[in-house]
Chain A
Amino acid sequence: MNYLWRRFPSLLLTLFLISLVTFVVVQVVPGDPAQIILGTEAPPEALADLRAQLGLHRPLPLQYLSWLTGVLRGDLGVSLRHGRPVATLIAERLPVTLSLATLSLSLAVLLAVPLGILAATHQHSALDYGVLLLAQAGLALPSFWIGILLILLFALSWRWLPSGGYVPWGESPLEALRSLVMPILALGLPVAGVLARLVRASMLEELSRDHIRTARAKGLSETQIIVRHVLRNALIPTVTLLGLQLGFLLGGSIVIEQVFALPGVGRLVLFAINNRDLPLIQGLVLFIAALVVTINFLVDMAYTWLDPRISLENKHGS
């Protein structure tokens, strides 16, 4: 608990800096929001009125402060193109992206942990080399290309799955899953490769430790050794990477949603960028980055459960 309280201020500081970076980046975007709303034909008086109404005449620090206080109340502003609150737009599309990200991550973990363990316990076997090959492929193949190849195979050649589009879970869970199978594979397989490599490496490191030799000498079976002594320690670096990979997954879903025409947060980002919808860009970038930071914070917290050695005292000075 102490550890949590020590880390909490640094989480708040990072979130504050993220809001600052987001605001600064979006301020560089050329284009006048008033002109975007009213169009290029708008009379100058109307533009000036709207600018005043939007508060664009105020100095930038003041604009930042009023945006930030809005954000703290859950108000991310109003989209210029949709004319609706940014928070509502994000909330509508979040289920698609979260389904995609969490299911991809689950697939990656379900594949990577057993594969990594098997590779480590059968080092230098064909299986081991197969896992390493998969890991390299996962690092090198762009997820959107995997998506394109899956469409080529499962949608265009064999016609088993739809090549794009999304059916909400509430409408038909089976169709929802069918529409997400290929995106999940495209996004999850590269992560599975990276994770499997890490699980393998940390397992090998743990297996070479002294206490494992002692356990073997005591006559414990390999399964007992793996389950009781190796797995828990080997999973710590994996959990760290999981947190980092969730950021990768949320970023990757921007591209994958485009490949499969999924109406998620990622496509909203592209819509906002292509239409210079500044409040929407600002809200989305802040939301995604804050989500990633918060998840990584929670992952950090998970360590204390996995590894009781990590505490306030031990962390101090590192």
Chain B
Amino acid sequence: MVAERRWRHVSPLLVGGGVIVLAMAVVAMLGSFATPHDPTAMDIAARLQPPGAAHLFGTDQYGRDILSRVMGGAGIALSVGVVAVGIGLGGGMIIGAVAGFYGGLLGEALMRLMDALFAFPAILLAIAVVGALGPGHLNAMLAIGVVNVPVFARLTRASVLAVQQEGYVEAARAVGGTDLHILQRHIVPNGLAPLLVQASVSFATAILAEASLSYLGLGTQPPLPSWGKMLEEARLFMDRGPWLAIFPGLAIALTVLGFNFLGDGLRDYLDPRH
């Protein structure tokens, strides 16, 4: 009965988002070894070729195959998503759990700090952190991860506060469960649903943020094929090759759409009211 009810809420959004995300993961894997051309190989004779049989998405100002570069960029985008969400989720869960579980002055101080971090426009904070650490792929991941910490901390704290009131937590405490045991076995598993939804949404925003940072020259550095960097390079040549500006943007939009659908679908699926 429960299983049947659950299946009814596997919405088209969840399926659509899941399919797009899975397809992007496959493209990202293929992008590291099975691209039609070498994503960084230049061929000046074939520069600025429009989309055609030899190059499905055309070539850029150095004659590099845009399809191969877009495929290579998928790996970069997804790796940023994984690491940034990992940092945000890991850091946020620890801070939120401590703040929610222990409360008091420590909890209050931690949450006020999270509020202060939350007050910075995300991209500004990411730019400031990348500015401090220096531009690059790894630092961009780290910066976007830091930006993601407060939202996960807030969610975790709210979940912890809600779950802590439940009878089974009191019962676990009464039979002498340690704090760590209660957190690990009862609080974290029961507060996981909103975090999962947020992770999917944060994945999408992380990909957008990396594209923005790379567009500004602060993220992934050439010759690595980042979608944002490709769009920045396209800016100078797009009067002669509009396709330069089309395909990387489409790739970003499709991936972000996939993760947003997945997040919305998960929210409906996991919503206990359904």
Contact = CB atoms under 8 A, between A and B. Distances in A.
Contact of B116 (A18, A26, A151, A288): A18
B212 A144 contact: yes
Interface string A267-294: 0011011101000010001001100110
Contacts of A18: 116, 119-120
Interface stretch (B3-11, B86-94, B123-131, B155-163): B123-131
A30 B135 CA distance: 12
B25 interface: no
Interface string B90-116: 000000000000000000000011011
A17 interface: yes
B46 interface: no
Contacts of A14: 112, 115-116, 119
Interface in B236-258: 238-239, 242, 245, 249, 252-254, 256-257
B124 A289 contact: yes
B115 A17 contact: yes
B100 to A, nearest CB: 16
Interface string B220-241: 0000000010010011001100
Contacts of B132: 25-26, 28-29
B216 A142 contact: no
A28 B119 contact: no
Contacts of B120: 18, 21, 247, 285, 288-289, 292
Nearest to A247: B121
B253 A140 contact: yes
A106 B115 CA distance: 27
A137 B253 CA distance: 8
A139 interface: yes
B214 to A, nearest CB: 11
A136 interface: yes
B122 interface: yes
Nearest to A254: B123
A156 to B, nearest CB: 5
B117 interface: yes
A251 interface: yes
A88 B122 CA distance: 25
B122 A21 contact: no
A292 B119 contact: yes
Interface in B46-79: none
Contact of B216 (A22, A136, A149, A255): A255
B124 A144 contact: no
Contacts of B149: none
B123 A251 contact: yes
Contacts, number: 133
Interface string A8-51: 00000110011011100110111000000000000000000000
A248 interface: yes
Interface in A272-318: 272-274, 276, 281, 285, 288-289, 292-293, 296
B141 interface: no
A144 B215 contact: yes
A17 B212 contact: no
B260 A149 contact: no
Interface in A137-169: 137, 139-142, 144-145, 148-149, 151-152, 156
A258 interface: yes
B204 interface: yes
Nearest to A289: B120
B62 to A, nearest CB: 19
A250 interface: yes
A286 to B, nearest CB: 10
B211 interface: yes
A145 B129 contact: no
A141 B211 CA distance: 11
A9 B83 CA distance: 36
A259 interface: yes
A252 interface: yes
B249 A269 contact: no
B239 A270 contact: no
Contacts of B231: 144-145, 148
A16 B260 CA distance: 35
Contact of A156 (B116, B117, B124, B238): B238
A145 B252 contact: yes
Given A140-B260, A145-B252, A285 B124 contact: yes
Contacts of A137: 253
23 contacts: A17-B115, A18-B116, A18-B119, A29-B132, A30-B134, A136-B261, A140-B204, A140-B257, A141-B252, A141-B253, A145-B253, A152-B242, A247-B119, A254-B124, A255-B212, A255-B216, A272-B131, A273-B218, A276-B131, A281-B128, A281-B131, A289-B120, A292-B121
Nearest 7 pairs of A and B residues by beta carbon = A251-B121, A17-B116, A145-B249, A273-B131, A251-B123, A140-B257, A140-B256
